[in-house]
């Protein structure tokens, strides 16, 4: 592994911060304002992608600047794991920006400057979290993400939005404090430590202390990762405008949580230590419960976005489960699912927004026959839903397959059962939507009556990419290869059996 000192990681983070200021200053010129967003998004993706070839070769780009806490500096490193999240966030930001522009303009929303500026800061923090090389940098961007998402959640400014915002803040700020205490503790055990594959806490304290510390970390991180019972904020946060729910609450914020989860398991404690402490099994149990119970809750929701929210809660725990199982293949599956789920879920949320923009319908019971007038939207929805259920040829299948194999590898076959059950439940709560859209209502033929292209084009794009990722998982961003490299780095070098698509 070769480390190159390079400021591209820092620039990638900073691009959208600069854009945020520019957006606020051009608040009276919508077109200029929007172009800042798009320029920044494209630039950011370009910078991140430019580092991809190097990372695949084993190069690590490192940017270390001023010290922010005793023993810790603002330290960014591009390892394969971080690249997965960064690529996901950067690529989806472009798509979401286009979608947002269409959505906000069609919906006649006010305060758009604040919206786009907050969005920019959020994506900035997401990249910061992805590339953070130590707990201090991680925590810094994690909390910035919390604060930057608040204006987005309460965007509509009605009582429901304010209530949702309060719940969101309550959960995330309390979790932030717990995380802070955990970080302080870790700072005392291992001052100045950076994230390292295999962890740095082994042997620094008694097993009981380490177990308590692990629990604290998981509570701190688990809120954003929506592990039950810490998930309550996510359905409440659906009061946000759909692009916010799509990118942030299906992709950025919650992925930051699960990303953090894997980081802590793999790079702070170390997979072996977690297994030794027995905490892997505990976490896996919580994750398994979340997967099943959230799916059951999804069945009971008639509000489309809330059903999607519970589906997200359930799917996120696939990632947590993979990390908790601790075998190589499981971790590959977990990391790949970060990307796969991102694309699939954002498609579904985009569809929900498209439906709302065109028809103002939010409840599933009202969707009868809409599939025939909005075929692109519901076609994409079908693709995303099948992918999440784990149908072969879709991205979701690949992650599930890896998770299943990983479960067998780590000697927990019951997990396979959970995965299968979850697939069935996914089908159960998505299929009725597809069915009622295409087959109910008055039996008229197909028309094309979608919302603006800025809205249906992005969702079509992400739907197609979900299929692409299932068939050729390394197309474009090399997600699968990155996942493999990342997982492999957590274990001692040796021959590794991996399943699924080639490179």
Partner 1 sequence: MMENAPVLILLAPLTGALLIPLLGFRFGRAVTMASLVASLFFGLSSLAQSLSAGPVHYHLAGWSPPWGIEIVVDPLSGVVASLVSAMAVLAAMYSGPFLAGWTRRRAGTFYSVYCLLVSGLVGIVITGDLFNLYVFLEISSLSAYALLSTGGSRSIVAVFRYLLIGTVAASFYLLGVGYLYAMTGTLNMADMSARLPNDDVAVLVVAASFIVIGLAIKAALFPLHGWLPDAYTYAPGPVVGFIAAVMAKVSAYALYRILYYVFDPVGGPRQPIELLGWASVIAVVAGSLMALAQKDVQRMLAYSSIGQMGYIMLGIAIGSPLALTGAVLHVINHAVMKGCLFMAVNGVQWKVGVFRVREFAGMAKRLPWTMGAFTVAALSMVGLPPTAGFFSKYYLALAAIESGHLSFLFALVLSSLLGAVYFFRVIEYAYLKTNDEPIEADAGTEVRELDASMLVPVVALAALVLLLGIFNQTVVTMLVVPGLPS
Is residue 131 within the footprint of partner 1 (CB under 8 A)? no
Least distance to partner 1 from the beta carbon of 380, Å?
A: 34
Is residue 188 within the footprint of partner 1 (CB under 8 A)? yes
Is residue 184 within the footprint of partner 1 (CB under 8 A)? yes
Is residue 212 within the footprint of partner 1 (CB under 8 A)? no
Size of the chain, expressed as the number of residues it contains: 503
What is the distance between the alpha carbons of residues 487 and 335, in angstroms, rounded to a whole number? 8
Q: Which is nearer to partner 1, 190 or 357 (CB)?
A: 190
Binding partner 1 (rule: CB under 8 A), the pick from 70, 443, 445, 495 is: 70
Q: Which residues contact 193 (CB under 8 A, 6 or more apart)?
A: 134, 135, 186, 200
Q: Which is nearest to 172 in space by CA: 194, 209, 145?
A: 145
What is the distance between the alpha carbons of residues 316 and 403, in angstroms, rounded to a whole number? 13
Q: Which is nearest to 334 in space by CA: 405, 422, 267?
A: 405
Least distance to partner 1 from the beta carbon of 16, Å?
A: 16
Is residue 5 within the footprint of partner 1 (CB under 8 A)? no
Least distance to partner 1 from the beta carbon of 173, Å?
A: 5
DSSP 248: I
Binding partner 1 (rule: CB under 8 A), the pick from 177, 209, 285, 503 is: 177
Least distance to partner 1 from the beta carbon of 32, Å?
A: 19
What is the distance between the alpha carbons of residues 210 and 22, in angstroms, rounded to a whole number? 45
What is the distance between the alpha carbons of residues 152 and 245, in angstroms, rounded to a whole number? 9
Least distance to partner 1 from the beta carbon of 446, Å?
A: 43
Is residue 181 within the footprint of partner 1 (CB under 8 A)? yes
Q: Which is nearer to partner 1, 72 or 438 (CB)?
A: 72
What is the distance between the alpha carbons of residues 198 and 194, in angstroms, rounded to a whole number? 11
Least distance to partner 1 from the beta carbon of 252, Å?
A: 18
Q: Which is nearer to partner 1, 138 or 456 (CB)?
A: 138
Is residue 154 within the footprint of partner 1 (CB under 8 A)? yes
Contact 77, 62 (CB under 8 A): yes
Q: Which is nearest to 89 in space by CA: 33, 150, 141?
A: 141
What is the distance between the alpha carbons of residues 291 and 421, in angstroms, rounded to a whole number? 9
Least distance to partner 1 from the beta carbon of 20, Å?
A: 13
Q: Which is nearer to partner 1, 187 or 308 (CB)?
A: 187
Is residue 67 within the footprint of partner 1 (CB under 8 A)? yes
What is the distance between the alpha carbons of residues 96 and 94, in angstroms, rounded to a whole number? 5
Contact 296, 276 (CB under 8 A): no
Q: Which is nearer to partner 1, 241 or 266 (CB)?
A: 241
Q: What share of the chain is helix, strand, coil (3-state, %, to 5)?
A: 75, 5, 20
Q: Which is nearer to partner 1, 11 or 498 (CB)?
A: 11
Alpha carbon separation from 254 to 67, 125, 259, 261 (Å, rounded): 28, 13, 8, 11
Binding partner 1 (rule: CB under 8 A), the pick from 36, 131, 185, 381 is: 185
- In SS3 terms, 321-348 reads as HHHHHCCHHHHHHHHHHHHHHHHHHHHH
Written as six digits, the tokens of 68 are 């922010």
Q: Which is nearer to partner 1, 244 or 386 (CB)?
A: 244
Is residue 14 within the footprint of partner 1 (CB under 8 A)? no
Is residue 187 within the footprint of partner 1 (CB under 8 A)? yes
Least distance to partner 1 from the beta carbon of 215, Å?
A: 16
Positions in 155-174 near partner 1 (CB under 8 A): 157, 161-162, 165-166, 169, 173-174
Binding partner 1 (rule: CB under 8 A), the pick from 11, 21, 42, 180 is: 180
Collapsing DSSP states into helix, strand and coil, what is residue 80? helix
What residues make contact with partner 1 under the rule CB under 8 A? Answer: 66-70, 139-140, 143-144, 146-147, 151, 154, 157, 161-162, 165-166, 169, 173-174, 176-177, 180-181, 184-185, 187-188
């Amino acid at each position: 592994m070769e480390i190159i000192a390079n400021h591209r990681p820092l620039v990638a983070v900073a691009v959208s911060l600069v854009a945020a200021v520019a957006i606020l200053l051009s608040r009276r010129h919508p077109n200029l304002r929007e172009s800042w967003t798009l320029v920044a998004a494209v630039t950011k993706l370009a910078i991140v992608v430019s580092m991809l070839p190097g990372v695949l070769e084993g190069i690590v780009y490192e940017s270390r600047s001023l010290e922010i806490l005793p023993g810790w500096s603002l330290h960014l490193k591009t390892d394969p794991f971080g690249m997965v999240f960064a690529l996901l966030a950067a690529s989806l930001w472009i798509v979401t920006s286009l979608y947002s522009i269409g959505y906000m303009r069609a919906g006649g929303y006010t305060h758009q400057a604040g919206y786009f500026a907050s969005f920019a800061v959020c994506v900035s923090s997401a990249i910061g979290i992805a590339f953070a090389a130590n707990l201090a940098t991680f925590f810094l961007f994690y909390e910035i993400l919390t604060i930057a998402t608040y204006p987005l959640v309460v965007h509509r400014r009605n009582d429901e939005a304010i209530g949702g915002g309060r719940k969101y803040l309550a959960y995330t700020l309390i979790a932030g404090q717990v995380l802070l205490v955990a970080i302080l503790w870790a700072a005392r055990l291992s001052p100045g430590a950076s994230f390292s594959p295999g962890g740095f806490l082994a042997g620094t304290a008694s097993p009981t202390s380490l177990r308590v510390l692990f629990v604290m970390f998981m509570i701190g991180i688990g809120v954003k990762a929506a592990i039950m019972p810490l998930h309550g904020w996510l359905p409440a946060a659906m009061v946000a405008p759909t692009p916010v729910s799509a990118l942030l609450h299906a992709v950025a914020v919650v992925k930051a949580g699960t990303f953090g989860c894997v980081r802590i398991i793999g790079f702070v404690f170390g997979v072996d230590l977690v297994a030794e402490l027995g905490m892997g099994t505990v976490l896996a149990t919580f994750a398994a419960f979340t997967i099943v119970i959230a799916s059951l809750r999804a069945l009971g929701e008639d509000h489309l976005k809330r059903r999607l929210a519970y589906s997200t809660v359930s799917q996120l725990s696939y990632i947590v489960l993979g990390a908790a199982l601790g075998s190589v293949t499981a971790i590959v599956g977990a990391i790949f699912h970060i990307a796969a789920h991102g694309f699939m879920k954002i498609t579904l949320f985009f569809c929900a927004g498209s439906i709302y923009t065109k028809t103002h319908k939010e409840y599933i019971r009202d969707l009868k026959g809409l599939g025939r007038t909005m075929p692109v939207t519901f076609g994409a929805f079908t693709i995303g839903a099948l992918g999440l259920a784990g149908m072969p040829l879709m991205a979701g299948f690949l992650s599930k397959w890896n998770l299943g194999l990983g479960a067998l590898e780590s000697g927990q076959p019951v997990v396979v059962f959970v995965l299968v059950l979850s697939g069935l439940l996914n089908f159960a709560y998505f299929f009725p939507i597809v069915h009622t859209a295409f087959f109910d209502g008055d039996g008229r033929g197909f028309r094309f009556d979608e919302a603006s292209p800025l809205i249906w084009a992005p969702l079509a794009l992400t739907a197609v990419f979900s299929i692409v990722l299932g068939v050729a998982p390394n197309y474009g961003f090399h997600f699968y290869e990155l996942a493999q490299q990342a997982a492999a780095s957590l274990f001692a070098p040796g021959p590794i059996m991996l399943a699924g698509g080639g490179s």
